Amino acid sequence: MRGVAQGRDGFILVELIVVIVILGILLAIAIPALTGYIRKAEDQKYNGSGSKLQDGGSHGDR
């Protein structure tokens, strides 16, 4: 049996569960935000390339 004076080595199960729950909450918040940013960037990329197609792609031609 361990006494109070002995040091702890490792984490207890409750500490590990708390860390996993906190990480899960952070991921639940972050993933929808990141997918929204990715979707917005893809929309801007496609909208930006459309203007090059409409003017015939004359950029850089002499």
Measured distance CA(57)–CA(53) in Å, rounded: 6
Q: What is the pLDDT of residue 43?
A: 86
Residue-range domain boundaries for the chain: 12-36
DSSP 5-51: TSPP-S--HHHHHHHHHHHHHHHHHHHHHHHHHHHHHHHHHHHHHHH
Whether the CA torsion 17, 19, 22, 27 is positive or negative: it is negative
pLDDT beyond 70 at 45: yes
- Mean predicted confidence (pLDDT) in 52-60: 54
Model confidence at 41, pLDDT cuts 50, 70, 90, reads confident
Measured distance CA(42)–CA(45) in Å, rounded: 5
% of the chain exceeding 90 in pLDDT: 32
The verdict on pTM exceeding 0.85 is no
